[in-house]
């Protein structure tokens, strides 16, 4: 039976509207697949009768306990833009401070950095930028020396970024601590999988989530894999290391390249859009929200993550 796309706004979440694909005439939560965000101005494409049935089905929040008791084997988070909205006021600022210290005459404004974020990894980002715009006069000429030059810039940038985190100048995004606590409380494995430097990711986890949570969270970051997102290598490594099947993992990402990596690894992926990624294409995501959210503005919880793994969901 063909799927029918139905647009609706969740009454409990004024800022979230979702496109739901469902088998015609089947509207229990067991047969609903949350596909992606649509503009809040979207009109119901179904009849009044169908609309009322779906409204009834979604009177319960996405966090409702009426979803199945299925839980993920592992909950895997990206770091930047997911745990903390770090890019604009964290990493970008730290890159610019580094360029200024080294007197390179380079500044990345907000819009430019948004474009550069399409390249995974800070060292890769700088290399691509200099290859395109020209290398600074102070940069070495040989390829090997330039690799060392980029590494030294990235090392200093990481030190400056860590100072921001350690001084708690960048807060956790809403709902992050709540969702991690729910997962750890249910025995679900939790990991952070990021293209960022391992020291920077560890600083975010330990300083902002606290040492008690940090000791239970495994970190896969930086150059731990040879190819960065959108390559699935980091998520495949996480699943293998944690001893779980990729199909039983739920990933929380904020970017198109992160989503591509998660899906290529065979994992379910929820997107929580960040400042730089709000307009990216998340068509292949299993669900899209503006954030995880804390009560009373909660968007979803661990039960919802588990519900996405149910076999009766229709894609």
Active site amino acids: 78, 80
230 in Cβ contact with 120 (< 8 Å): yes
CA distance to 31, 151, 296, 314, per residue, from 286 (Å) = 14, 36, 23, 11
Block residue for tokens 């009322």: 52
Q: Which two tokens stand for residue 60?
A: 């319960």
Sign of CA dihedral 66, 67, 71, 72: negative
* The token pair that represents 303 in the structure block: 């039960």
Nearest-angstrom CA–CA distance, 264 and 266: 5
| Owner of token pair 């919802």 | 304
Tell me if residue 209 falls in helix, strand or coil: helix
**Residue 36 DSSP code:** E
HEC string of 65-126 equals: CCCCCCCCCEEEECCECCCECCHHHHHHHHHHHHHHHCCCCCCCCHHHHHHHCCCCCHHHHH
Distance between CA 5 and CA 264 in Å, rounded? 24
Report the distance separating Cα 310 and Cα 315, nearest Å: 11
């Amino acid at each position: 039976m063909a799927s029918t796309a139905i647009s609706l706004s969740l009454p409990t979440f004024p800022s979230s509207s979702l496109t739901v694909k469902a088998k015609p005439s089947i509207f229990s939560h067991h047969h609903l697949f949350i596909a992606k965000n649509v503009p809040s101005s979207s009109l119901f494409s179904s009849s009044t009768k169908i609309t009322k049935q779906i409204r009834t089905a979604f009177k319960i929040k996405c966090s409702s306990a009426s979803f199945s008791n299925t839980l993920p084997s592992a909950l895997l988070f990206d770091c930047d833009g997911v745990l903390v909205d770090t890019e604009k006021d964290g990493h970008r600022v730290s890159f610019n401070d580094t360029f200024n210290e080294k007197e390179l005459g380079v500044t990345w404004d907000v819009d430019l950095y948004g474009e550069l974020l399409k390249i995974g990894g800070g060292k890769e980002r700088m290399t691509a930028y200099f290859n395109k715009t020209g290398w600074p006069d102070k940069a070495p000429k040989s390829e090997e020396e330039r690799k060392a030059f980029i590494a030294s810039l990235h090392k200093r940038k990481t030190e400056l970024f860590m100072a921001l985190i350690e001084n708690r100048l960048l807060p956790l995004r809403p709902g992050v601590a709540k969702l991690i606590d729910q997962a750890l409380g249910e025995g679900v494995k939790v990991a952070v999988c990021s293209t960022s430097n391992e020291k920077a990711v560890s600083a975010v986890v330990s300083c902002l989530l606290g040492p008690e949570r940090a000791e239970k969270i495994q970190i896969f970051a930086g150059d731990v894999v040879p190819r960065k997102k959108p390559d699935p290598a980091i998520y495949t490594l996480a699943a293998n290391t944690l001893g779980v099947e990729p199909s039983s993992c739920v990933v929380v990402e904020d970017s198109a390249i992160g989503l591509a990596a998660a899906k290529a690894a065979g994992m379910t992926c929820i997107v929580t859009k960040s400042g730089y990624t709000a307009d990216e294409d998340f068509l292949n995501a299993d669900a899209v929200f503006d954030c995880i959210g804390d009560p009373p503005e909660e968007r979803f919880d661990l039960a919802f993550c588990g519900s996405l793994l149910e076999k009766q969901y229709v894609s």
